[in-house]
A = this chain, B = another copy of it.
Amino acid sequence: MNTKKTILITNDDGYLAQGIQFLTQVMQNIANVVVVAPDSARSGAGCSITPTHPVTIKQISDNIYACSGTPVDCIKIALEKILPCKPDLVVSGINHGDNASISMHYSGTVGAVLEACMKGIPAIAYSLRTLKKNCDFSPYAEITEKWAKKVLNEGLPQDTCLNINFPETNKLYGENICRTARGLWHTEWIDAGKDEEGKNIYTLTGTFCNLEPDATDTDYWAIDHNMAAITPLKLDMTNHALINKLKQAK
């Protein structure tokens, strides 16, 4: 009888991306793995879903499935249509590009992990601050495996998941358990002329500004200082402190 645990793996760069292949190798050391990932890149998908048209699933190999939907669709469909039972852990990534600070809101890598969290499954998002297609992920193997093992064994509090971001480095200076930094994306659009109907065309780009570069308790500070940033995220976005203030002001 196979008593190994099961890890469901996804990402937003597509099932062929180098990052998910590395993550799969690491997870195979500690559990049975099933990969259900987008059939191509879905950068910037956030928590988006596909309610307006059908989604397809193609089985690529014994334990790899490619999905035409978003990363959140991948988790939803894996849980209901592919896996025989609930996995013990969901991991997502390793994303090519960090998902620290407010970028986490736009991230399909993080979106998939929030979805797993909604379904009561412990989950970890992994991202690397690089835009290189060919990266050496080996410096991140130890921490990647360590946190997966820890969460497999100990779980996470209800409605909480982890967002882990790595700096691009040959040598990690440890890790920092930290909060999400405040940040701002600006100068985001490049004019790209007009289309045949006279509509203005724009291409999204942008410059990120860390609004609290000196805050040593943030994910951005950790990455800037060559450390892995380990940030626990919770589903509930309510500003609880404001509820009473608004009630009193009525």
Contacts and interface: CB of A to CB of B under 8 A. Distances in A.
A76 interface: yes
Contacts of A202: 54-57, 77, 81
Interface string A216-245: 010000000000001111111111101100
Given A43-B51, A47-B105, A177-B247, A58 B199 contact: yes
B236 A179 contact: yes
B239 A232 contact: yes
- What DSSP secondary structure best describes chain A's contact surface? mixed
A115 to B, nearest CB: 8
Contacts of A152: none
A172 interface: no
**Copies per complex?**
2
A41 to B, nearest CB: 7
30 contacts: A43-B51, A43-B52, A45-B48, A47-B47, A47-B48, A48-B48, A48-B106, A49-B204, A54-B192, A54-B201, A55-B201, A57-B199, A57-B200, A58-B197, A77-B202, A80-B187, A80-B189, A102-B118, A157-B239, A159-B182, A160-B242, A177-B243, A177-B247, A179-B240, A180-B237, A217-B243, A231-B238, A234-B238, A234-B239, A237-B237
10 tightest A-B CB contacts, nearest first? A46-B47, A56-B199, A48-B48, A232-B239, A179-B238, A44-B49, A46-B46, A234-B239, A232-B242, A46-B48
Interface of A: 41, 43-52, 54-58, 68-70, 72-73, 76-77, 80-81, 102, 104-106, 108, 111, 114, 118-119, 157, 159-160, 177-180, 182, 184-185, 187-189, 192, 195, 197-204, 217, 230-240, 242-243, 246-247, 250
